[in-house]
Amino acid sequence: MPTAKETAPKAMTKAQIIAQLAEKNELTKKQVAAFLESLVELAYRETKKNKKFAVPGLGILKLNKRKARVGRNPATGEAIKIPAKTAVKMTVSKACKDAILGAK
């Protein structure tokens, strides 16, 4: 009997994404790969610089500051200090949610 891990659908690979975009937009795979790389670089740079980067129709990358807090070691139950840190958060746009889940 297959496990849940074996039957779960797999996410598309970078090569599969590039191939589909190239076919749909009548571009070469090399052009699409270069475009994707430049989009990713732009997203990283702008998020770092402006603390926010929007991809229209998909969502927003934001820098999110997390406060220091007290947590628990799951093995021993001992209280431990978790330091403050900055994390990257992706907020999905309403258009994306509606396209995937259907409008309510």
pLDDT in tens, 51-98: 999 999 999 999 999 999 999 999 999 999 999 999 999 999 999 999
φ, ψ of residue 90 in degrees (nearest 5): -110, 120
The C-alpha atoms of residue 41 and residue 48 are separated, in whole angstroms, by 11
Per-domain boundaries in the chain? 12-50, 63-95
**Percentage of the chain surpassing pLDDT 70?**
93
Q: How confident is the model at residue 103 (pLDDT cuts 50, 70, 90)?
A: confident
Contact yes or no for 39/53 (Cβ under 8 A)? no
Residue 20 Cα distances to 37, 52, 55, 72, 80, angstroms: 16, 28, 19, 45, 47
The C-alpha atoms of residue 101 and residue 64 are separated, in whole angstroms, by 26
